[in-house]
């Protein structure tokens, strides 16, 4: 009987030892951790003392395709109230291209087509975020018939049928761009 009483106790000890060893070697369930990046931003003034005007999608103020921008985006008059697109003079744009005649052009500004810029001015309705979608012509002919070279100029796209266009002209505009100052990784439990 002594042998029988030792065997069950030994078996229980062996089973408990095996279970204990398995619990030590058993990998834990992976903990769910999420990561997010928190950005800190700063504004950098790219240009100041810019002159601003409004342009309309009509052939007299654009090329032969007034509803297609230089970025090849198309729109209709009904879209204009919901978009904030602008055109910049060539001296403000950073662009290199070859035209249809094979001539190479290199503009050395600080803004690329498609960039989002922040406008700050005394004309409060012009203030805010705008997307650069178009390029202004080299020259502008004013009502007096004078040819004016367009430099340091921004044109805000407006519907020509909208009688409440927010400005006709606005001097002393600042164009800013938002830059990432720092990115911080944050870990959290979802």
Return the domain boundaries, the chain.
Answer: 37-182
Give the strand pairing for 94-98 and 85-88: unpaired
pLDDT value for 3: 45
pLDDT value for 19: 55
* pTM summary value: 0.68
Can you tell me whether residue 87 is helix, strand or coil?
strand
Residues 6 or more apart in contact with residue 182 via CB below 8 angstroms: 39, 40
Q: In the CATH hierarchy, which fold is given to the domain comprising 37-182?
A: Barwin-like endoglucanases (2.40.40)
**pLDDT of 125-166, one tens digit each?**
889 999 999 888 876 656 566 676 668 999 998 877 776 656
8 Å CB contact between 136 and 5 = no
Number of H helices, E strands in the chain: 1, 10
pLDDT value for 76: 72
Token pair in block for residue 115: 């960039």
């Amino acid at each position: 009987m002594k042998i029988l009483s030792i065997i069950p106790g030994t078996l229980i000890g062996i089973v408990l030892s095996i279970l204990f060893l398995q619990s030590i070697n058993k990998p834990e369930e992976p903990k769910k951790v999420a990561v997010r990046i928190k950005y800190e931003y700063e504004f950098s003034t790219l240009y100041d003392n810019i002159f601003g005007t409004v342009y309309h999608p009509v052939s007299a103020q654009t090329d032969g395709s007034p509803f297609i921008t230089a970025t090849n985006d198309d729109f209709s008059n009904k879209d204009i109230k919901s978009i904030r697109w602008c055109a910049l003079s060539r001296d403000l744009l950073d662009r290199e291209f070859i035209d249809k005649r094979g001539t190479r052009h290199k503009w050395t500004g600080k803004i690329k087509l498609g960039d989002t810029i922040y406008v700050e001015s005394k004309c409060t309705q012009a203030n805010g975020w705008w997307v650069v979608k178009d390029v202004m012509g080299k020259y502008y002919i004013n009502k007096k018939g004078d040819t004016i070279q367009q430099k340091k100029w921004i044109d805000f796209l407006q519907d020509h049928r909208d009688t409440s266009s927010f400005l006709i002209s606005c001097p002393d505009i600042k164009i800013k761009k938002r830059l990432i100052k720092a990115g911080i990784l944050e870990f959290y439990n979802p």
